[in-house]
Every structure is written in C-alpha cells, then in structure tokens.
Amino acid sequence: MSLTKGGFAFEAHVPVRWSDMDALGHVNHARMVTLLEEARIAWLLSAGEQYAPLIKSAFIADVAIKYKGQLRHEDSPVRVGMYIAGNRSVDFTIGYEVRGAQAAPESRPAVIATTQMAVVDIEKRTLRRLTDTEKGYLAAWSRG
C-alpha cells in the first residue's frame, strides 16, 4: 500500500466504448463520469478485505472534472491514475489523472478530476467520522 513512481495509489486501464463518443469523435463529457467510476471501482475492489468497511460505507458527495485535452476512441484504454487528494473527518477526496493509452506517463493529463466521498453509518443512515485506521489507509495513498 504505497504510491507508484508516478504518484498514484492505483492505475486503472479503462476501455473506451464506441457509445462513450460524442458526434465529434471525442469522449463525451458525461461519459467521463462513467469511465472514472469504472476506474474507482477497480481500485476499491483491489484494495482488499481490510478496507471493506470504508469502501462499503462511502458514497459520492461531489464530482469535479476539468478537461485539459481531447480523448478519442483510439486513445483506448485510457489510463486513470488515482490517489487520495485529501481527507477530513467525514469524507475523503479521490484525485484522478486521465491519459490516453499511448501518452507518456509524465505528459499533461487530458482530464483532471476529483470525487469527494462521504462516509456513512449504513444502519443509522447518517454521516460518520473516519476512524483512525481509515485515516491511516487514506494517508498511505495520499500525495502528501
């Protein structure tokens, strides 16, 4: 559980489907949310059983996406590098950098995004505080 050389906790390779494209041949802006979701789920499922309480109690509170370049079908599968961009008492933020399959790892990302994840007590249906253990998990995946 540490960051890769590129500064990512996890990197997913997500295929771009023909249905993800807009009329101009770019990845549709709304479909980018789905591609980020697929990457996030792959990361969370790979994290292991010790992280299950955190993963199962988190839901999306906010999504922010900035488009810095174009992505096209031929850029598939897109590489989505993820890390923890921040955490507070009841939520954490996942940072994303999206590049095309052939883009150099140090190149400017085509998309930069964040997803704020709030954690809840599932039975009470209320926000809950992150435990010290959960904060430790998140800190290990953080860029500092």
Q: What is the pLDDT of residues 52-87, one digit of tens each?
A: 788 888 999 999 999 999 999 999 999 999 999 999
How is the chain split into domains, by residue range? Answer: 10-140
Q: State the amino acid at position 7 in one-letter form.
A: G
pLDDT per residue as tens digits for the range 3-55: 677 789 999 999 999 898 888 888 988 999 999 999 999 988 888 887 878 88
Specify the pLDDT at position 143: 85
Q: What are the distances in angstroms from CA 75 to CA 12, 51, 67, 85, 125?
A: 14, 32, 15, 26, 41
Task: Provide the pLDDT confidence category of residue 2 given band limits of 50, 70 and 90.
Answer: low
Distance CA 136, CA 38 (A): 25
138: Cβ contacts below 8 Å, ≥ 6 apart: 84, 87, 92, 130
Q: How many residues comprise the chain?
A: 144
Tokens for 100, please give them.
Answer: 């095309």
Beta bridge partners of 120: 127
Question: Is 10-140 CATH 3.10.129.10?
Answer: yes
- Is 90 exceeded by the pLDDT of residue 1? no
Distance CA 139, CA 141 (A): 5
Kindly state the helix (H) or strand (E) to which residue 38 belongs, with its residue range.
helix 29-46
Specify the pLDDT at position 45: 83
Tokens for 119, please give them.
Answer: 């954690």
pLDDT per residue as tens digits for the range 95-120: 999 999 999 988 999 999 999 999 99
Tokens for 113, please give them.
Answer: 């995004």
- Is 90 exceeded by the pLDDT of residue 127? yes
Q: Are strands 78-87 and 91-99 parallel, antiparallel or unpaired?
A: antiparallel
pTM, to two decimals:
0.91
